[in-house]
Amino acid sequence: MGNSTKSKKAATEPSISNFLSGVVGNTKDLVDNLIENVESAEKGARKGAHKFAKKDIKNLRKQTETLNEQVKKLSKVTKTK
């Protein structure tokens, strides 16, 4: 009986080792995929932030132009009085 226990143990050790190697390999792949996804999400967020910043700047310029036009109109009104 002692020999059969040793042979079972010897037979299961490689399968456990293979299983653990598979788990480690899959975990590494998952981590690599997560890192890639985070990198692409970060790039997307930066591009999105840049687009929003450009849009905000355009809106501010339009508001400034409108304000300048109103100031010019007001200055004309005050000059005529």
How is the chain classified by DSSP, letter by letter? -HHHHHHHHHHHHHHHHHHHHHHHHHHHHHHHHHHHHHHHHHHHHHHHHHHHHHHHHHHHHHHHHHHHHHHHHHHHHHHH-
- What are the tens digits of pLDDT across the range 2-44? 566 666 666 678 888 888 888 899 999 999 999 999 998 998 8
| Rounded mean pLDDT, 36-56 | 89
